[in-house]
Structure 1
């Protein structure tokens, strides 16, 4: 086995080909966990043969946090210090065959979606003037045989680069190595000047990532990806149209957008036997990816109060943070620093280090026995609402845009009683 298949010895293969528009629903019904369903379970990796296509669809690869951690031997303690520049190669696996955008089994997750969306394409771009590079994942709606509409959240590095340069060559790497996928979700603000996400991905992987030159654009491509799209962003824009964008990572439908930049595809290359990797929208995979990257981003800020960090799937890997802290830490100051630097964090639960923050029952046991919420729950006001959180939408109960932390640590005078 090669490519992503080599990472998945327990890969499940669906027994018969399915139409592309039924694959997402089948995975959601049979395998998906929180927040897609009420099942608190890790998701298996499943390969779906596709009716009328030679390229199967891979779902669930990132649906188990323990499995993903096993692919990333590099820890967070000295991640930036171990960052290593990617290695350039010729004849990369991702360019073994040529293809077309129309040949890819792009999923339409629900009948409500505005259309088929590419959901696991790691976009890479480079600014030749500053040397800055962007690495990030965005939803991309297929508009035609060679055009995609790409949604970039305001403030993202790729959008700023596009606005600065105008025409921007990019590569879209589908089935990228896990270290690149997790690094793509890191906060750029926590990285020092001169250190890019691909450099950090090398530290996560324990070896430099490999890159190659594009065949149609002056871009870098991830050499070990399953499928690579090359193209460019210009001043052309398009609307996503009617319906919803696709179910967002928290399990709710997303809003369609207007005036999105258009990515014009100029080449599609693949491995000889590629898989098309996707996520179903509200599933566990995005929560695991975002959660691992979020914990790294918070850890890279170097707060001495924090002993360990975990973003659970129930918060989409972004909104809720469980943090074990060292004794006698100033929790209010630590919480304020996190909320100010990481704008998607809505709730923090602080625990002692004897609590397993990767076990939700253990965390809520600590909340139950080591906190009285009337005194141990603190909310900071003055933050902007988060668009993906329905409880912060206009019309919800007043006061829904604050940021809150719970002190579920044992009080110092009685700490010995809580062993």
Structure 2
């Protein structure tokens, strides 16, 4: 893999923030005190959340809150990945190449290693058997809204090991503080590897050791969001981050449980998933809600969360908590870019050179919607674009809508995509529907109450919108050609 200029600069959260400070308009800080319960996210909604967040919102800089009420000495960073341009800078690539970069990294993994050096994440240690141990005070976890079930850890890298195979994996899960030494963790049925590990440990009557690393290298946060079949059970997604950085992620041994954690994290929570115990997510708030999810709606509180009994919290000196808003552009980056990589990889292997690029657009939260830029090189390619859409659904099962466009359409510009739809698409001929397919439970329209064709909650009608020009009519659909010039001569001295 080729060397990328910024690799040497970024290897943890602090070096990532240093890089953003050097880029105009990409990071702001405030010394004004902020309440972590709803106020912090309320502020960032206006500054830079974007995504499917309720309007008004916008894409803007990342932000650091230096004074968080109730947490002296702690800072909170938000929105680090809430911009594709920012993600590209942090990973040392181009915005339009991120999916391909991730695809290559999956195919060339570099596994993590355990460091023998003192771990920065263990500079300060708090053990659960200490009298003053209290997660509410130790971890400055915000709520997104006043309706949330409680303080959420939204950017926790959960790391665990399968009790049978000994293989490990990292995944991001919904984690709510439930007590002084208790967290709830939500496992989407059948969707995450650590959920399968917890289920197997429960069958064996065992606790599952787990570490939760917060505030890490953005390469880890992006890489951890791959799903099967691209990264099957047994694939440690920390190896994706290793490939992106061209060096292994360093782990350290936990102090109180038999697991490892990310050595240069800002915070690490050590604990065990308890078998045979389920938690009502909003047992403390009784709001009926969990937190805002990526589709833009506040999800219902689950009565089937698992329980993590916390054994210790370790952190760096003067730690930086990292968080995100559930429906923000940050989720689009974390979920969407790995999805682009999965789709590109599957289609490229099936029909090399035809799929030019993929974009999992903000409007779909990075999961529900993909735009495929497809090149028909010869007459026999007609129809292959629809095969590519079917492969996309196979690559990522939660995908609901696929838009197909030609290679002269910018798949990252939704105005250009809609232009293609308006001038190259006919509803009676170019819509392909696949009803009755399992999709995603957080889409409120995927419910029998919305359509008699839906047999169970979470089932959807997957749809392909073919906005490509028939190969034999390409000459009729040539875009207006403009002179190709460098505008700098006329714009560099403008006022």
TM-score (ref. length: structure 1)? 0.94
1:312 to 358, 361, 370: 361
Query: What is the correspondence of 1:129-168 to structure 2 with a 5 Å cutoff?
Result: 129-155=164-190, 156-166=192-202, 167-168=207-208
Alpha-carbon separation, structure 2, partners of 1:237 and 1:303? 43
2:82 maps to 1:55: no
Structure 1 residue 385: Cα displacement:
5.1
2:52 maps to 1:35: yes
CA root-mean-square deviation = 2.1
2:251 maps to 1:251: no
2:261 to 211, 221, 240: 221
Long gaps (5+) in structure 2: 1-12, 94-100, 127-132, 455-459, 479-495
Residue 411 of structure 1 aligns with which residue? 470
Structure 1 residue 95: Cα displacement:
1.5
Alpha-carbon separation, structure 2, partners of 1:323 and 1:237? 41
Structure 1 residues 382-417: Cα deviation after superposition (integer angstroms, max 9, x where no partner): 312532112222322444621101111121112134
Structure 1 residue 219: Cα displacement:
1.0
314-323 or 84-93, which deviates more: 84-93
1:239 to 272, 277, 280: 280
Contact 1:149-1:240 within 8 A present in 2 as well: yes
Residue 40 of structure 2 aligns with which residue? 23
Structure 1 residue 3: Cα displacement:
4.6
Structure 1 residues 346-367: Cα deviation after superposition (integer angstroms, max 9, x where no partner): 0000111221111111111111
1:184/1:417 Cα in 2 relative to 1: closer, same or farther (>3 Å)? Answer: same
Contact 1:43-1:284 within 8 A present in 2 as well: no
Residue 206 of structure 1 aligns with which residue? 246
Structure 1 residues 157-202: Cα deviation after superposition (integer angstroms, max 9, x where no partner): 1111111123110110111211111111101322368642111221
- SS of the residue corresponding to residue 290 of structure 2 reads strand
Query: What is the correspondence of 1:331-370 to structure 2 with a 5 Å cutoff?
Result: 331-370=385-424
Contact 1:57-1:105 within 8 A present in 2 as well: yes
Larger radius of gyration: 2
Aligned residues: 419
- SS of the residue corresponding to residue 381 of structure 1 reads strand
Residue 297 of structure 1 aligns with which residue? 342
47-56 or 140-149, which deviates more: 47-56
Structure 1 residues 215-263: Cα deviation after superposition (integer angstroms, max 9, x where no partner): 1111111112111111110123211133200111111010111132111
Structure 1 residues 48-87: Cα deviation after superposition (integer angstroms, max 9, x where no partner): 1202312111111111012112222481453234211123
Structure 1 residues 78-127: Cα deviation after superposition (integer angstroms, max 9, x where no partner): 32342111232121221122245232111122111121111110101012
2:18 maps to 1:6: yes
1:44/1:399 Cα in 2 relative to 1: closer, same or farther (>3 Å)? Answer: farther
Residue 375 of structure 2 aligns with which residue? 326
- SS of the residue corresponding to residue 416 of structure 1 reads helix
Alpha-carbon separation, structure 2, partners of 1:106 and 1:23? 10
